[in-house]
Amino acid sequence: MAKLPILEFPDPRLRTVAKPIVHVDDALRALIDDMFETMYAAPGIGLAASQVDVHRRLLVLDVSEHSDAPMVFINPEILFSEGEQTYQEGCLSVPGIYADVHRAERIRVRALNRDGNQFECDAHGVLAVCIQHEMDHLAGKLFVDYLSPLKREMVKKKLAKARREAAAEAEDAAQGRANVAGAGSAGSAGATAAQGRANVAGAEPAPDAIRGSAGTAASSPPSA
């Protein structure tokens, strides 16, 4: 499995309408596993394939308290809906932004599971909200579209500022690592040069020592 990059608003690719999935195969199941890893790591409770730049009708979610009830919806369609609820929503593609959105209270969904088997699901409360939110992504729609134009513009500016600040922090961190590495290289080079001078000095004995060794060798009998 692998974590996938998540597209962020206002990336135009988020407006792409997803296409139906024709074959449920191992490649699709690998994508599903990657999406779950990405969603849990974010962390989030739902993720549509459109958010990871795969424009196919697929979403994963897990609204359980302990993140131990993963659900997969392939080619989901809402059969009927009723009631209304207001829920404060957030989105992995719009990080740090939350807003009240009105959605149906109860829905029935038909979809395929990860094995390609069809099923129907009755959902209400947060599960219904999550399914509707992710299905919006498959239609190229974001929860900020429910906000006024003024609020959407404010969201764009806030996210742009956050990205600039993150980029500046990353650049500062990279420069700091480069400075530390440069200082370490200079120190190592200095130590190597000093050690080299010491080795040269040790390899050159004093003239007196040379003479003494020669005289001893000349006056001593050879060993038998």
Catalytic residue list: 134
CB atoms within 10 A of CB 60: 26
* Nearest one of 129, 121, 32, 53 to 89, comparing CA atoms: 129
Amino acid letter, 134: E
